[in-house]
Structure 1
Amino acid sequence: MTTRSKILCASEPDLDTAEFRRVLVESGLGANRPVDDEARLKAMLASADMVLTARRDAPGRPLVGVARGVTDFSWVCYVSELAVSQSAQGLGIGKGLLDEARRQLGPSVAIALISMPDAVGFYERIGMTRMADAFWFGRER
């Protein structure tokens, strides 16, 4: 677990489906995710190899961000969601979640994702390499 500016980033494989749904909706990703299909959201969480959360270090520890990934823990991790509630955007939470993913995965695992058009600048600013409409963290070895 790491702490960033009173935001706690941690692995949370048993994340509550309702909390996941809320952050998807609040982030704007809800328009492109099956937020009205609870069974599918539950399956998305259950099938993920990595679920990282960002919570405020405050009473009730409200969820403000989530990163969900599918990985072999050896070669590549595909981040299928990186969602931060709009009220918490700009606080470094998305970068913090990706930093935590990189820490947990280690230097030999690449991270790939497909960006929503309005998030392209964010991924470029944090140092991801643009490959057409996909982004890539290269392997260090």
Structure 2
Amino acid sequence: MAITFKVNHPVTTDQFIGLLESSSLGERRPIHDRDCMDGTISNSNLVVSAWDDELLVGIARGVTDFHYACYLSDLAVHQHYQRSGIGKRLQSLTQEQLGPLCKLILIAAPAANSYYRRLGYTHNDRCWVLDAGVTIGN
């Protein structure tokens, strides 16, 4: 298996959805809303991807200003390729695209907490989420 990594290489909506379906992220993303998934991948300004020939096997999808904060919105690795270092490499390559003061910020699934802790992330309990459909102040 010769995995190649690419920065901001085009990823189609179908490839993105297929990867999410083949990883644990498909359960927590609106993969049946094609318009949402299309907007999600096409409006990301930093996408690092992993490929086994033409098959998308990993993605680190970020939204960033490149200087202060990079929100790593998705980190997904195809289930047959997990535990091979792809996720770690995706994050490392993401960091390489960012300025020296830029932080990686993500929301982890509970089962992934120990993974991120081992990589050097610190837990922050100050995250707040406003769900879609909730009006500010009500």
Normalising by structure 1, report the TM-score: 0.84
Structure 2 counterparts to residues 13-92 of structure 1, below 5 A: 13-56=9-52, 60-92=53-85
Q: Deviations over 1:49-98 (max 9, x none)?
A: 11110112xxx431110111111111100000000011111001111000
Q: Does 1:131 align with 2:127?
A: no
When residues 21 and 33 of structure 1 are mapped into structure 2, their CA distance, relative to the original with a 3 A threshold, is same
Report the Cα offset of residue 11 of structure 1: 1.2
* Structure 2 residue ranges without an equivalent (≥5): 128-138
Q: Is the 8 A contact 1:115 1:133 kept in 2?
A: no
Counterpart in the other structure of 1:137: none
Whole-Å separation in 2 of the counterparts to 1:107 and 1:92: 23
Counterpart in the other structure of 2:88: 95
Structure with greater strand share of residues: 1
Normalising by structure 2, report the TM-score: 0.85
Q: Is the 8 A contact 2:59 2:75 kept in 1?
A: yes
Q: How many residues end up aligned between the 2 structures?
A: 127
Structure 1 counterpart SS, 2:11: coil
Whole-Å separation in 2 of the counterparts to 1:76 and 1:120: 20
Whole-Å separation in 1 of the counterparts to 2:27 and 2:126: 19
Whole-Å separation in 1 of the counterparts to 2:71 and 2:79: 23
Counterpart in the other structure of 2:3: 7
* Residue type at the aligned position of 2:100: P
Whole-Å separation in 1 of the counterparts to 2:82 and 2:9: 23
Q: What RMSD, in angstroms, separates the aligned Cα atoms of the two structures? A: 1.6
Q: Is the 8 A contact 1:114 1:133 kept in 2?
A: no
Q: Is the 8 A contact 1:13 1:50 kept in 2?
A: no
